[in-house]
Amino acid sequence: MPSPLTKPRPRTPRANFSPSPQEPCFCGSGKPFRDCCGSAKRDRLPPHGVGIVPGFLDPDICRSWITHLHRQPRLPLGTVEAPDRGISHSETTHGGDRITDLVKAGRLRRDIDRRVERAYQDIIAPLRGRRFAWFEYPQVLRYEPGGWYRAHADSEVCSPDGRSWTKGIDRDISLLLYLNDDFQGGELRFLKFRYSHRPRAGDLVFFPSDHRYVHQAEPVKTGLRWVVASWAAFTDEPRVRDQPPPASIML
């Protein structure tokens, strides 16, 4: 079995993924990007790499979790500049870029961790044919009206000129678990694919953490939007750090 800590590699910037409408789609379908993963049609499929499992979580469980979470302490996610880069890392930006609260899971901690672990191990790992080394402690996020999260990639930061991206954290898969849908706005939008997903309670959504999958949580218009977020690393992916992120559960 490969070590969960493969050797860190130098952080080489990757050219900005920016397919033109007429070029062959990156998914290998042979169709032009505009008729495939970059289609503007309303009834299109999710882009290659984005997995959606409706009803992964039972609606009754979603409701009971939210009832508990309403009473839990929460804190606004604050601004932290990545000290070694001088660029805000996607995960830690705030100000106008990200308006959301982190809610303490309390007695749900183990239950949430276990459900998220099952999503990684039973659904995503077999689909991708790879094994996970760890996942980061799932975060419970609460968006009020006006809350949003500006376009970002979960593992990479953009150069100031916008031409290249560099991996800053060892995340290969991003996971979202939606707990409710009684709000307006708040779609999950993948900018490079012109694709939006309207969350439904119980939806599991996952996708690669790199900048091809730059995404935005659109502003919530009414209601509260509840979502659980986590990130995981494959065993066989080269690392950029010599340690897993601090709040990680080893698999």
27 binds Zn ion (CB under 5 A): yes
Amino acid at position 8, single letter: P
Q: Where are the alpha helices (DSSP H) in 26-91?
A: 59-69
188 binds Zn ion (CB under 5 A): no
Q: How far is the CB of 48 from Zn ion (least distance, A)?
A: 5
Buried b (16+ CB within 10 A) or exposed e, 196-231: ebebebbbbbbbbbbbbbbbbbbbbeebbbbbbbbb
**Stretch of 31-39, 71-79, 91-99, 122-130 lying at the interface with Zn ion (CB under 5 A):** 31-39
36 binds Zn ion (CB under 5 A): yes
Rounded Cα distance, 139 and 129, in Å: 26
Q: Which two tokens stand for residue 247?
A: 């709040």
Q: In 3D, which of 118, 128, 111, 97 has the Cα closest to residue 209?
A: 128
25 binds Zn ion (CB under 5 A): yes
- C-alpha distances out from residue 132 to 171, 210, 238, Å: 10, 16, 13
Q: How far is the CB of 192 from Zn ion (least distance, A)?
A: 12
50 binds Zn ion (CB under 5 A): no
| Count of residues near Zn ion by CB under 5 A | 6
Q: Between 45 and 80, name the residue whose CB sits nearer to Zn ion.
A: 45
CA atoms within 13 A on the CB side of 33: 15
Q: Between 23 and 122, name the residue whose CB sits nearer to Zn ion.
A: 23
**Stretch of 35-43, 64-72, 84-92, 109-117 lying at the interface with Zn ion (CB under 5 A):** 35-43
173 binds Zn ion (CB under 5 A): no
How far is residue 101 CA from its own chain's centroid? 16
66 binds Zn ion (CB under 5 A): no
Q: How far is the CB of 92 from Zn ion (least distance, A)?
A: 32
C-alpha dihedral over 151, 157, 161, 164, to 10 degrees? -110
Q: How far is the CB of 28 from Zn ion (least distance, A)?
A: 7
Which member of 37, 103, 175, 205 binds Zn ion (CB under 5 A)?
A: 37
Which member of 9, 18, 23, 29 binds Zn ion (CB under 5 A)?
A: 29
Residues in contact with Zn ion by the rule CB under 5 A = 25, 27, 29, 36-37, 48
